[in-house]
Every structure is written in structure tokens, then in C-alpha cells.
Amino acid sequence: MSLRYPMLTAVAAALLFSFAPSTGSAAVLWDQSNWNTLGEGSLNLNSNSCSQISGNTKLHNANDVHFSSAVHITNVRIYETPGNVQTATLAYLWIAPKTGPLPTESSSAVWGLPLQVSITSAIETIGPNSCVVVSANNLNINLPAGDYWVALTPRHNRGSTFPYTVHLVTTGPIIGDRTATIDACTVNSNWLYVLPTPYDYAIKIEGDVPLPVTAATWGEVKSLYR
């Protein structure tokens, strides 16, 4: 199931919650941005095509996250090493309910035009080490409380210069289940772990936590749906 929830869910969310006025900065809804400064990570990209000769591939990394209340997501950020990712302007954002230690969805569900979002990149520095923060901004995604898989996969080719851009792991510990990956070069449901050592990958999600509507507001909203 993708982030395109049925209309009934969206309407229900609108009826039950109202959002506090914006303060100019988003609240952090999920924070695993403690990226590993040693450069440990693995590929996370959707190339124009797949080729064993060029090394271009379609690998999507999905993190599990938990929201204890309903959320409104405005930004999703991942942390990668410098390289071809800085040429990317688009990515695929896939969000699905988590039902087990690994996703079960087909690789065909994690990418495609309906999931395409614009991205920006910026450099973040910790001491002598730097990474690229890849951000999908100005999102408008409403989710009820629960557990989800989230994958933000930039669109770019791997490139021929080593080291290649990789999605950085965190400095630990694993929260929930480790990050899972699927190779979307063919249609399959074979989610796997790319690295032999268990890791979570660096991600941050920002947005707003909705507040319950007042009785007066509830009456006003109901009147719109009579």
C-alpha cells in the first residue's frame, strides 16, 4: 500500500484533526540523522536503466518509523556521501504501513511517476567530515498513528568514479527493525539486507502533530459535509 491512501482516510483525518498554526519551522517527527562519519553505507538510487556493465541499478532503502499520534509530514531527509546524488533533482518517496520485520510490497510499488517528488541537496559538516543532506520539501502527507516504512530514493545514475554516492548508516542503535532494501530492476518482492552488519540508515522526518479540534470547530466541519 502506498502513501496514496483512500479518500475516506484523508477526509477522516481532516475531520478529526486540525493543525496548529505554522511557527516557521517544522517539528521533528522522526530523527535518525546521526549519520556515520566513517562513510559506511550502500547504494540508494533509481537509475535511468539497469546494467551490469555500467553498474546502474534501482536500489531502494526503506527505514521503519513509528508515530505515536497522527502526523502531517512536510519534509523527509536522508544523508548520503557526495557524488552523483548532488545532480539529482527528483526522487521517489514511498511510504507504506509496516506489518512485519520486512516490507512485503512488490518492487513495482516503490517507484513510478505518482511517487515522484522534487529534492534539494545541501552539505552538512561534522568536524572534518561532510555529507549531503537530500531533502524532499513542501510535502503534504497526513498519516494516522502507527508504524511505517519510508523510502526516499534519488533518481540518478551511479557514475563511473569511485567512491560512489551511498546512503549513510547511523551511528546506532537500531530502532525497531533494520533498514531493508529491494532491487527494483525486475518485478519482485525480495526485500533484503545489503550489508552484513545490521544497520539503520540515516533519515529525518519533519512536519506537524495535529491537535484535536474543538467542539465548535467540529460543528463547523460537520456542516460542510451535510
Q: Write the pLDDT tens digit of every residue in 158-173.
A: 877 677 899 999 998 9
| H/E element, 222 | helix 215-223
Give the distance from CA 48 to its chain's centroid. Answer: 20
C-alpha cell read off for 65:
518509523
Kindly indicate the confidence band of residue 17, based on its pLDDT and cuts at 50, 70 and 90: very low
CB 74 within 8 Å of CB 27: no
**What's residue 211's pLDDT?**
64
Tally of CB atoms within 10 A around 182:
26
Q: Write the pLDDT tens digit of every residue in 173-224.
A: 999 999 999 999 999 999 999 999 999 999 999 999 876 644 433 333 333 3
CB 154 within 8 Å of CB 134: yes
Q: Write the pLDDT tens digit of every residue in 53-110.
A: 788 999 999 999 999 999 999 999 999 999 999 999 999 999 999 999 999 999 999 9
Q: Write the pLDDT tens digit of every residue in 98-109.
A: 999 999 999 999
Residue type, 132: V
| CA atoms of 170 and 201, how far apart (whole Å) | 5
Nearest to 134 by CA among 89, 73, 78, 94: 78
Q: Write the pLDDT tens digit of every residue in 131-155.
A: 999 999 999 999 999 999 999 999 9
Nearest to 142 by CA among 210, 200, 205, 194: 210
**What's residue 16's pLDDT?**
39
C-alpha cell read off for 224:
460542510
pTM above 0.85, yes or no: no
Cα dist from 73 to 5, 142, 162, whole Å: 14, 6, 35
* E strand map for 103-165: 116-118, 120-126, 129-136, 141-143, 146-154
Q: Write the pLDDT tens digit of every residue in 28-39.
A: 999 999 999 999
